[in-house]
Structures are given as C-alpha cells and as structure tokens.
C-alpha cells in the first residue's frame, strides 16, 4: 500500500478501475498516514468519518463499473480557507474557530462531484497572511524534510530503498526543524508525506508555490479567473487564486481539468469554456524561447539556487530550446506595491468579522463599540490586526492618492513588463521560486511577518500582479538535503505550454520522491 500512496493519480485510477484496490482501503491507508505525520501539524481537521463515507460511496460505484473519472476514490486535502459544507473552516484563526459553512467552495464541490475523498482541512498562516505557516492559531507546521519523521520514509529512485542515516538527537531539537513555507504549508506537507494525492492551496503572492518549493512538490497557480474563487475566504480579491499541490505535473493537470472553468457564482471567473488537456509523452521543448529575467537574480539569492537555475537553463538549451536574458525592470517594486494593496484589501475584507453575525464574540456588554473592539482584538492575531490598521491608514482620504492609487499604477507597470516579454516572443519565463532551501524555524521567526513575506515572495509575487499562470517544480536536493525548486511563468491561459515545459524538466531532473515505509501503515 505504501507504493500506492505515492503512485501518480492516473496509475492509481487504473488500479481502482481494474478492482486491484478499493477506495476504502486507500482512504484507510491515507488516514493512517495522517496519524504517522501528526507531529508535523499539517491538518487542522482530519475528516475521518467523511472520508470513510465518501470512500464507501466510491466502493459502490467501483462495484457497478460506474466510476466518475480519474479522481474517483482519490484522497485529497483542502486548505482550511475554502468553505466545506458541514465541516469546520477556520482560516487557522480564533475568529472562525467555530465556523461551519452551509455550502461548499466551487473548487471543492467539483472535486467532490468527481468522486474525490476529503481526508482533511490543512493548516495555514492565519487568514493566509504569511509565508511560513507559523502564524496559525493551531500552532506552526513543520516540514517533513530534515525532520525526525524522515526516519519513516525512504527516497524512491534515489537511494534505491537504502536506509537513510540521521542524527536523532539533532533532529529531535525544536530549533532544528525547517518551515514548510506558507501560507499553504499544511497542504504542501499533506502531499509530500503521502497522506493525499493532491491538495488545494490558495495563492495571492506565492502561497502555493512557496511551500511547494520548500516541500519538494509541484505547486501550480493558474491564470487569475481560470478557477473559481467562490467559497475561498478572501484575502486579496484582485489576486487570490485557488492553487494546486501535487507530487507530479500530470497530477496537477488532472486536478486542474477537474476544477477549472466558468462559475456564475464568481464574477471574476473567465467566461470562456475550459478545454481539458493532456500532455504528450515525451514533451518536446525544441524551438521554445525561454526568458531569464536578470532582475530575479537578486542579492539574497543563494548560490545553490542560482547554480540550479543555470543548470536547468543549460539543459533546456541542450534540448533545443532558445534561452534569452530578458529585463523586467519593475520586479523590485512588486513586494512594496503588494504590501500596500494587500493591506488595503485586508482592511476591507476583515471588516465583516464583527462578532455579531458570525465569528468570535467577546464576553463584553458595556457597549457595541467595545464589543467590536474586544472581539476583533482577541479574534485576530497581531499580523492580521497590523494589516487591518495599515490598510485603513492607506485608505484615508488624505493618503489614498499617495498609497493606493500609486500602488495600482505600479501594478500596471509590473504587468506591462510581462506583456513586453511576451510581445518580444518569449514563450515561458524561468526563475527561482524561493531564494534558498527551507529556512530553519528559529531563523525564520527572528524577522517579523512582513519582512519575511518580502523576502520569501520576491520571485513569486509578480505573477499575481500580472495574473499570469506560474508553477514551481522541484529540481534537486541542497547540500543540507532539502528541496530546491524553480518557477516557470507563461502568458495568461497558456497552462498547457507552461506545464509542458514543467513536465519536460520533471522528466529530466528526476527529483526523488518520499515514500512512507510499509511498517508505518500497519494497524
């Protein structure tokens, strides 16, 4: 069963269709895996009973040869800022600790209608405001890579099932564990540990790609509007995109094909019908024009990531692609611009949490104003409160032109950088995803949330400004044994081209996959 838990979705689907494995057996193994990796704090809620029920329904369809498609019976996870009917949706906050929606987010409904089995709701930075999944009301999440729990895994096709050696004493020390990235860190951990085959994240500035990079998996941010935001509790409405985390590029395509398309419930969704696609095997990259933006080679970029970038560029050239240096001069302003726009939209979006209709309500009866103040003070953490205050400051009449309007103008310039590159004939842009491998927890929290986001999202944020699709692909292990990844970006609605190049890179670099040891799944 351990090898099945890390199978590509298509191969798994074939086994289910052939009757070689029952969805209920698969769900049982996935739920067992969640208990093995519980110390990593990937899940806020493990939906055990729902998973068993959905898997049983899939069993019945299997018996009748009436499976709903490739995702029928496949365990998935959902970031806990997507609404799930009759299941808690907390946004990792005290404010929504008791919130149980009466409806499903469109993306989850589509997965459920395709027969997918929900294993659980995953941890995140509170209200998706962070880059490490360390600011959750339910505690920080930990990266499997470099942790003591790596003893329960081997690296498939890398060490050929050989036992890996660890310094137990060093790994057991809290200060030595690495962050999983954020804000979709719980979803990335869930996929990398084999508790599910795919997970939903959200991506406003890199929150899917960042943890995918640190956890050694694929993280896809589709074109803005290609996937419905209905039921995704908003952070930055103009940039939020449901993201996809999987172990392979083909798995990401399978999920994208299931969830993409117009939605009448989301006015920002693209109205044109979505046409599912599959990639040829092998993928041909000859003749493609690959851009390398010089501005992404920033001072904080580690030597290992820079070398990784150069090596993959060389591999593409050797395969017949044409690699060009390009300039995207407004890249350095993206983070500052995002900080202003993010906080303005946060101030607006968080206004609904007043402790009256729903959300945490303080035990305060002296006045309505004091009830609001106490409920919001106790319901939100310092990060959320600081962004609300900053956003309200930026939106003051006397500040509006200097902050919000100017930030919108800078956003337009960033988007124009991308349009110029596409106009000049570049098909795909190749950059780092993160500037290094995953930082250690104690190093990460030594800086404040906003400063960390400024560093962590340097390479990922511009894609959100421009609304273009982007994907993070794991490449190799660093000298410390931690994943290193690269990012691809393409013009809007060019997911097939984007993921074709990603698939080619994936096939060439053969990044090692973590496989849970069989004995860990025994009762």
**Residues 6 or more apart whose Cβ sits within 8 Å of residue 173:** none
Q: Exactly one of 207, 213, 269, 472 is catalytic; which is it? A: 207
Asked whether 194 and 74 are in contact (CB, 8 A), the reply is no
Q: Which tokens sit at 90?
A: 């907390």
Residue 486 CA to residue 502 CA, distance in Å, equals 10
Calculate Rg over the CA atoms of the chain: 22
Q: Exactly one of 13, 147, 183, 192 is catalytic; which is it? A: 183
267 is catalytic: no
- Nearest CA to 178 out of 442, 463, 472 is that of 442
Cα–Cα separations (whole angstroms), residue 301 to 305, 308, 433, 434, 456: 7, 11, 10, 8, 11
Query: For every residue of 293-344, which 3-state class applies, written as one string?
Result: EHHHCCCCCCHHHHHHHHHHHHHHHHCCCEEEEECCCCHHHHHHHHHHHHHH
Q: Which tokens sit at 97?
A: 């600790």
Q: Exactly one of 79, 110, 221, 476 is catalytic; which is it? A: 79
Residue 344 CA to residue 399 CA, distance in Å, equals 12
Cα–Cα separations (whole angstroms), residue 451 to 236, 380, 396, 487: 19, 19, 24, 22
Residue 230 CA to residue 266 CA, distance in Å, equals 5
**Residues 6 or more apart whose Cβ sits within 8 Å of residue 34:** 42, 43, 46, 119, 120, 190, 195
Q: Which tokens sit at 295?
A: 């501005």
447: left (phi over 0), alpha (psi -120 to 50) or beta: beta
Residues pairing with 289 in the sheet: 322
183 is catalytic: yes
Asked whether 211 and 181 are in contact (CB, 8 A), the reply is yes
172 is catalytic: no
Residue appearing with tokens 């994943």: 483
Residue appearing with tokens 């704090």: 41
| Chain center to CA of 506 | 18
Q: Annotated active-site positions, please? A: 79, 183, 207
């Amino acid at each position: 069963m351990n090898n099945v838990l890390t199978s590509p979705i298509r191969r798994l689907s074939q086994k289910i269709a052939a009757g070689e494995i029952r969805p209920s057996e698969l769900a049982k193994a996935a739920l067992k895996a969640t208990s093995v990796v519980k110390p990593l704090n990937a899940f806020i809620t493990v939906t055990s009973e729902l998973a068993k029920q959905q898997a049983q329904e899939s069993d019945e369809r299997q018996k009748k040869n009436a499976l709903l498609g490739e995702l029928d019976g496949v365990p998935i996870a959902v970031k806990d800022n997507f609404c799930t009917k009759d299941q808690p949706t907390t946004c990792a906050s005290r404010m929504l600790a008791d919130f149980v929606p009466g409806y499903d987010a469109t993306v989850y409904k589509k997965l459920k209608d395709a027969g997918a089995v929900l294993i659980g709701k995953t941890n995140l930075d509170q209200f998706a405001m962070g880059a490490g999944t360390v600011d959750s009301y339910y505690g920080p999440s930990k990266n499997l890579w470099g942790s003591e729990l790596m003893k329960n895994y081997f690296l498939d096709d890398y060490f050929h099932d050989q036992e890996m050696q660890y310094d137990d004493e060093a790994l057991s020390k809290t200060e030595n564990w690495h962050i999983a990235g954020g804000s979709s860190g719980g979803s990335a951990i869930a996929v990398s540990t084999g508790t599910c085959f795919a997970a939903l994240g959200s991506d406003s500035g890199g929150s899917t790609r960042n943890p995918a990079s640190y956890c050694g998996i694929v993280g896809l941010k589709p074109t803005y509007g290609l996937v419905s935001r209905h039921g995704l509790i908003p952070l930055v409405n103009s940039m939020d995109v449901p993201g996809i985390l999987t172990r392979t590029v083909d798995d990401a395509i399978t999920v994208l094909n299931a969830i993409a398309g117009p939605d009448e419930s989301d006015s920002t969704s693209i109205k044109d019908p979505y046409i599912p696609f599959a990639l040829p095997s092998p993928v041909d990259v000859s003749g493609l024009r690959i851009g390398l933006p010089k501005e992404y080679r920033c001072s904080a970029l580690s030597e290992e990531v820079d070398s990784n970038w150069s090596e993959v560029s060389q591999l593409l050239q050797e395969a017949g692609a044409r690699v060009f240096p390009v300039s995207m001069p407004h890249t350095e302003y993206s983070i500052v611009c995002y900080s202003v726009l993010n906080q303005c939209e946060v101030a607006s979006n968080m206004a609904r949490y007043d402790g009256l209709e729903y959300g945490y309500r303080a035990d305060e009866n002296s006045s309505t104003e004091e009830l609001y103040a106490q409920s919001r003070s106790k319901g939100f953490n310092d990060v959320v409160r600081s962004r609300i205050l900053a956003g309200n400051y930026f939106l003051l009449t006397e500040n509006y032109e200097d902050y919000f309007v100017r930030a919108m103008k800078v956003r337009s310039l960033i988007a124009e950088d991308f349009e110029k590159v596409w106009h000049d004939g570049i098909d795909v842009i190749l950059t780092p995803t993160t500037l290094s491998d995953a930082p250690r927890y104690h190093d990460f929290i030594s800086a404040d949330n906003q400063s960390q986001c400024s560093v962590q999202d340097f390479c990922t944020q511009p894609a959100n400004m421009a609304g273009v699709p982007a994907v993070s692909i794991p490449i190799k292990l660093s000298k410390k044994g931690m994943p290193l990844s690269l990012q691809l970006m393409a013009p809007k609605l060019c997911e097939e081209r984007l993921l074709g190049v990603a698939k080619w890179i994936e096939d060439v670099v053969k990044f090692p996959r973590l496989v849970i040891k069989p004995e860990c799944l025994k009762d």
